[in-house]
Structure 1
């Protein structure tokens, strides 16, 4: 069942890269007592994710945070090392928290998984964005076509805040 407004975010532990190497971040750490914009992408470095979706959240970071958002985070079904390389290559700096969902466990728990095996990518995350207030989803925007980033864009999120 796909997550919707009013649902509590599924409990999960993401993998992140810290200054000391690979580490973890729980959904409680990420969402408790905070307003968070979370967006999911099918894969790091993929054309739409890297050149369109992520850059919008970097570009509109200040405007989104000015609307009361504490954290902007992205999750993708890639291992923590690929996610870290993507973070470095993106130029996002500290504007976006990069979360590895390497086995698509979070995507599956939220009902946001998509099988892209026909493209040689296996199980991935749908492209989406959401607003989460203290662990409760208030908005969800899911793309019908994973190659597009309109419904789930930073501009859409700005209009919803």
Structure 2
């Protein structure tokens, strides 16, 4: 599993934009400036939709005021789903919606979650991290079923 002091893995993924999906390089997206990346098990799932994404949207200005250049939300979903979810939550102006459709980035981070028995396949664990110029400075991984350390308010307090 990735840890504080590690460099963010470099790879190409897709991001959802108002104009549709576009390719993004994690080195550019997560490797420049101060970035908060938070990951959810799935777009449109209960806790993710009711609490996790809305918290980061609500507090986006406070993150910016604390020097955060970019807030990125990631899920093991395709870019079309991430785009629809971002639009549904009016997040696209404040949060980059990163699609890790095949869980390759999630696996590279060592933060995959096996939900095969629930019919959801391989997903991401719920987590948040802070990176500065591509190096992890803080990491918050939830216990299974938890929603405490990676919520927007907890990450904001840590900055």
TM-score, normalized by the shorter chain, greater than 0.5? yes
Deviation at 1:73, TM superposition (A): 0.4
Deviation at 1:20, TM superposition (A): 4.6
Tell which deviates more after alignment, 9-18 or 110-119: 9-18
Aligned to 1:122: 121
For 2:91 and 2:138, locate their aligned partners in 1 and report how far apart those are by CA, in whole Å. 24
Q: Where in structure 2 are there 5+ consecutive unaligned residues?
A: none
Aligned to 2:71: 72
Q: Where in structure 1 are there 5+ consecutive unaligned residues?
A: none
What are the Cα deviations for residues 109-130 of structure 1, in whole angstroms up to 9, with x where unaligned? 0001010112110100000000
TM-score after normalising by structure 1: 0.94
Paired residue secondary structure (1:132): strand
TM-score after normalising by structure 2: 0.95
For 2:82 and 2:140, locate their aligned partners in 1 and report how far apart those are by CA, in whole Å. 22
For 2:41 and 2:142, locate their aligned partners in 1 and report how far apart those are by CA, in whole Å. 11
Aligned to 2:33: 34
What are the Cα deviations for residues 60-112 of structure 1, in whole angstroms up to 9, with x where unaligned? 11111111000000010001111111111112131100000000000000001
What are the Cα deviations for residues 19-58 of structure 1, in whole angstroms up to 9, with x where unaligned? 5532111111112331000000110000011111111111
For 2:81 and 2:116, locate their aligned partners in 1 and report how far apart those are by CA, in whole Å. 19
Q: Is the 8 A contact 2:140 2:149 kept in 1?
A: yes
> What do you get for the CA RMSD once the two structures are aligned?
1.2
Q: Is the 8 A contact 1:48 1:148 kept in 2?
A: no
Tell which deviates more after alignment, 13-22 or 67-76: 13-22
Paired residue secondary structure (1:137): strand
For 2:31 and 2:7, locate their aligned partners in 1 and report how far apart those are by CA, in whole Å. 11
Tell which deviates more after alignment, 91-100 or 101-110: 91-100
Aligned to 2:152: 154
Spell out structure 1 runs of 4+ moving beyond 2 A.
Answer: 17-22
